[in-house]
Chain A
């Protein structure tokens, strides 16, 4: 009863609890929070205190002294550290609900990878409940991404969406508010970073950090050979000498480094196209595949997929926020048409 009363004063939230970034969409307000899913913890006399969350904590990643640990509590799209995730969610929910003199108790819709197991889903649900959510709905990411991109999911026509996130890549074919086929692989932006790190270690015997790898990916990362060559300077520890050294990396090398994860993504897309019913396949072929998620920002990824699948591929507007916006829209649809619009998992 008391929770419900508190709920009146809380906004409904849609949370994209991603491996790399957590986004919160508030009904009627839009995206209000977009921060890295990183938590920094200070250990003081055997008790753990949260030192920083979000952007601040991300800056600490890999640069912390002994008593501080910067953790990414999400891995491969699911919870790796339950309590820290709960604390992080709590922090974010409070941040969204500032100026409240009591604890917020919102209804929360969380996007989960379609390949996540029951245990993983339950962990997400419980951590949200622990963070103060009154009711927790779970929606599968391809569905949220498609809604957020503005695809006609409620119509009797197939729409194919490819969401390349930080930890997972999800491909979904949707029709009539439901998922006809979905596939999730645990390859995403993080794997790209790893691939770059490995490549540089192999070819230059130099060790670089995750943050540097991410920077390289953003600056000169490319998924398809370009007529222009881009270069960037990288500083890392030379393994032979043990001293930080500078090296120059060009976009073709990064492309080579990314071949493996990119090939997995392409084969997943092809696999999905193979398995869907022919009617939906023809719908997809006519309209094309929509790319969302941070991975859609990788240069020429659309060109790669176009060449590989021979289908039109388009990048959604503002691909990073598609999932969170789609979740928000789903909340509205629940409000309008009742919770049975989608095959949502509900738990209060």
Chain B
């Protein structure tokens, strides 16, 4: 039932192939496959040759085709039974001439049979050609008078095309075919299209109308003048559409166009160039990135080292004291540790001066006033880390008592104005005074005693924190 319906559907197709024996086909269909196979076996020897020719190229395609496209098994057999005789007759002449030792493949007759008949159905076309055939729009075929002519032309053309592509087939070796092969390989895409158009009896105007392009564009395409046409992608598209219209295998046209483009060394190979360019840039980029990171890492590590070093250096390096020690008591509370060290050294130097100046002055015996000579300066530097010096500048006659943190009394007594006394001990110092007429130099700062924090009414504390 199914197959009959299919057959009816297919009548159109078969008609297109100028087949007059449909009715007999229907009759044979009823007989069934097996009988047909028997029939065909009679021709199997002849068929074998053909099948071999086709097997290599068609086998893959035909399986696809059989599974997917119109042709039912039954239909195929129909078309075979119709078409086989003429085909095989002609083939047999050629094939027997060329190769008579191919009879071993009898078993293949069945499978090759189906291959073959699918071929036959397509009027001896490659399946691919067949598929391409389908792309052609129907209008032209249906409406114009050219139809029958064109169809017959197509059939011829297909045969030639097939011959051209199927080089392995022994059938091909005929001088005519070889010349067309050479022609096609030599001919430019434009030439090929022009020839095909003329064979199909189409005017440029007609083609332009069908492709919705200007006649000028068609002319340029046929002249292979690509300079005055839009970018390559469009040219390729036009060529493809044109080839589709004329039933020329699309890819061969596009390939020959590409070749021609390459030969004329125009910019067809943009993608390739891009690739090369890309590779180099990405590689370069990679290298620069790595070097940049390495450099960054180096810089960071070096800067770290430098940042930690200065602290130590500051501790060790004695800083030469600057002359302008602030006596104005303005910056008393604003000192920083760096200054502290400066002032220490300053006080040392001043101590020495002081002692030179006051050498003849009697010093009160009980008080452990440290008289530091110049030679001992290095020693004091070390001891000063724990012991701090305190210099008292008397402005009035003042009684005072100085004790350090260990409760050792450093000084007690009344001193007259203008006297300078240097003391050393461990801070904090407790200073008890009768009045405020004394300036105390501590950590390089000279301040009136009244400026130091008070412990009680007349006792002051001079501490490390106090600067």
Residue contact B213 to A312, C-beta cutoff 8 Å: yes
Residue contact A300 to B135, C-beta cutoff 8 Å: yes
Residue contact A312 to B238, C-beta cutoff 8 Å: yes
Residue contact B13 to A229, C-beta cutoff 8 Å: yes
Q: Taking the complex as formed, is B360 at the interface, i.e. its CB lies under 8 A from any CB of chain A?
A: no
**Chain B residues near A8 (CB-CB < 8 A):** 286, 289-290, 293
**What is the CB-to-nearest-CB distance from B273 to chain A, in angstroms, rounded to a whole number?**
11
Residue contact B274 to A335, C-beta cutoff 8 Å: no
Partner of B240, one of A5, A230, A314, A329: A314
| Bound Cα distance from A290 to B238, whole angstroms | 11
Residue contact A229 to B290, C-beta cutoff 8 Å: no
| Bound Cα distance from A329 to B214, whole angstroms | 32
User: Which residues in chain A, 141-155, are within 8 Å of chain B measured between CB atoms?
Assistant: 149-152
**Chain B residues near A227 (CB-CB < 8 A):** 16, 134, 136-138, 141-142
Partner of A228, one of B134, B233, B236: B134
**What is the CB-to-nearest-CB distance from B190 to chain A, in angstroms, rounded to a whole number?**
17
| Interface magnitude class on chain B | 35 or more
Partner of B212, one of A28, A300, A306: A306
**Chain A residues near B213 (CB-CB < 8 A):** 288, 312
**Chain A residues near B237 (CB-CB < 8 A):** 288, 290, 312, 314-316
The interface bits of chain B over 231-251 (1 if a CB of A lies within 8 angstroms of the residue's CB, else 0) are: 111101110110000000000
User: Which residues in chain B, 122-148, are within 8 Å of chain A measured between CB atoms?
Assistant: 133-138, 141-142
| Bound Cα distance from A163 to B237, whole angstroms | 16
**Chain A residues near B202 (CB-CB < 8 A):** none
Q: Taking the complex as formed, is A250 at the interface, i.e. its CB lies under 8 A from any CB of chain B?
A: yes
User: Which residues in chain A, 195-244, are within 8 Å of chain B measured between CB atoms?
Assistant: 219-220, 224-232
Q: Taking the complex as formed, is A87 at the interface, i.e. its CB lies under 8 A from any CB of chain B?
A: no
Known: A225-B138, A287-B230, A306-B212. A230 touches B238 (CB 8 A): no
- Output the nearest chain A residue to B210 by Cβ-Cβ distance: A306
Known: A8-B290, A27-B282, A226-B134. A220 touches B68 (CB 8 A): yes
**Chain B residues near A290 (CB-CB < 8 A):** 233-234, 237
Residue contact A302 to B241, C-beta cutoff 8 Å: yes
Say whether chain B's binding surface is mostly helix, strand, loop, or mixed: helix
User: Which residues in chain A, 292-348, are within 8 Å of chain B measured between CB atoms?
Assistant: 299-300, 302-303, 306, 310-317, 329, 332, 335
**Chain B residues near A310 (CB-CB < 8 A):** 212
**What is the CB-to-nearest-CB distance from A332 to chain B, in angstroms, rounded to a whole number?**
6
Residue contact A299 to B134, C-beta cutoff 8 Å: yes
Partner of B279, one of A28, A303, A317: A28
**What is the CB-to-nearest-CB distance from B60 to chain A, in angstroms, rounded to a whole number?**
16
- Output the nearest chain A residue to B230 by Cβ-Cβ distance: A287
Q: Taking the complex as formed, is B259 at the interface, i.e. its CB lies under 8 A from any CB of chain A?
A: no
Q: Taking the complex as formed, is A271 at the interface, i.e. its CB lies under 8 A from any CB of chain B?
A: no
Q: Taking the complex as formed, is A286 at the interface, i.e. its CB lies under 8 A from any CB of chain B?
A: yes
**What is the CB-to-nearest-CB distance from B366 to chain A, in angstroms, rounded to a whole number?**
68
| Bound Cα distance from A112 to B397, whole angstroms | 94
User: Which residues in chain B, 13-32, are within 8 Å of chain A measured between CB atoms?
Assistant: 13, 16
| Interface magnitude class on chain A | 35 or more
| Bound Cα distance from A315 to B243, whole angstroms | 13
Q: Taking the complex as formed, is B314 at the interface, i.e. its CB lies under 8 A from any CB of chain A?
A: no
Residue contact B69 to A150, C-beta cutoff 8 Å: no
| Bound Cα distance from A310 to B212, whole angstroms | 6
Residue contact B6 to A232, C-beta cutoff 8 Å: no
**Chain B residues near A231 (CB-CB < 8 A):** 6, 9, 69-72
Most buried by A among B230, B233, B238, B279: B233
**Chain A residues near B328 (CB-CB < 8 A):** none
Q: Taking the complex as formed, is B2 at the interface, i.e. its CB lies under 8 A from any CB of chain A?
A: yes
Q: Taking the complex as formed, is B198 at the interface, i.e. its CB lies under 8 A from any CB of chain A?
A: no
- Output the nearest chain B residue to A283 by Cβ-Cβ distance: B230
**Chain B residues near A317 (CB-CB < 8 A):** 233, 236
The interface bits of chain A over 1-42 (1 if a CB of B lies within 8 angstroms of the residue's CB, else 0) are: 000010010010000000000000001101000000000000
**What is the CB-to-nearest-CB distance from A139 to chain B, in angstroms, rounded to a whole number?**
17
Known: A250-B9, A299-B135, A314-B240. A332 touches B274 (CB 8 A): yes
Q: Taking the complex as formed, is A99 at the interface, i.e. its CB lies under 8 A from any CB of chain B?
A: no
Q: Taking the complex as formed, is A118 at the interface, i.e. its CB lies under 8 A from any CB of chain B?
A: no
Residue contact A300 to B70, C-beta cutoff 8 Å: no
Partner of A232, one of B68, B212, B275: B68
| Bound Cα distance from A224 to B16, whole angstroms | 19
Residue contact A220 to B6, C-beta cutoff 8 Å: no
**Chain A residues near B234 (CB-CB < 8 A):** 287-288, 290, 314
**What is the CB-to-nearest-CB distance from B91 to chain A, in angstroms, rounded to a whole number?**
25
| Bound Cα distance from A340 to B454, whole angstroms | 71
- Output the nearest chain B residue to A151 by Cβ-Cβ distance: B233
Residue contact B231 to A312, C-beta cutoff 8 Å: no
- Output the nearest chain A residue to B64 by Cβ-Cβ distance: A219
**What is the CB-to-nearest-CB distance from B21 to chain A, in angstroms, rounded to a whole number?**
20
**Chain B residues near A11 (CB-CB < 8 A):** 282
**What is the CB-to-nearest-CB distance from A288 to chain B, in angstroms, rounded to a whole number?**
6
- Output the nearest chain B residue to A305 by Cβ-Cβ distance: B212
> Other than the known A5-B293, A228-B13, A300-B135, what 5 A-B pairs have Cβ atoms closer than 8 Å?
A229-B10, A287-B234, A290-B234, A314-B233, A314-B238
Interface, chain A (partner B; CB < 8 A): 5, 8, 11, 27-28, 30, 149-152, 219-220, 224-232, 248, 250, 286-288, 290, 299-300, 302-303, 306, 310-317, 329, 332, 335
Selected A-B contacts with CB under 8 Å, 17 pairs: A11-B282, A28-B275, A149-B233, A150-B270, A151-B231, A228-B70, A228-B134, A229-B12, A231-B69, A248-B2, A287-B230, A288-B237, A313-B212, A314-B234, A314-B236, A314-B241, A316-B233
Closest A-B pairs by Cβ, 9 of them: A314-B237, A227-B138, A231-B70, A28-B278, A150-B233, A228-B134, A219-B68, A287-B230, A8-B289
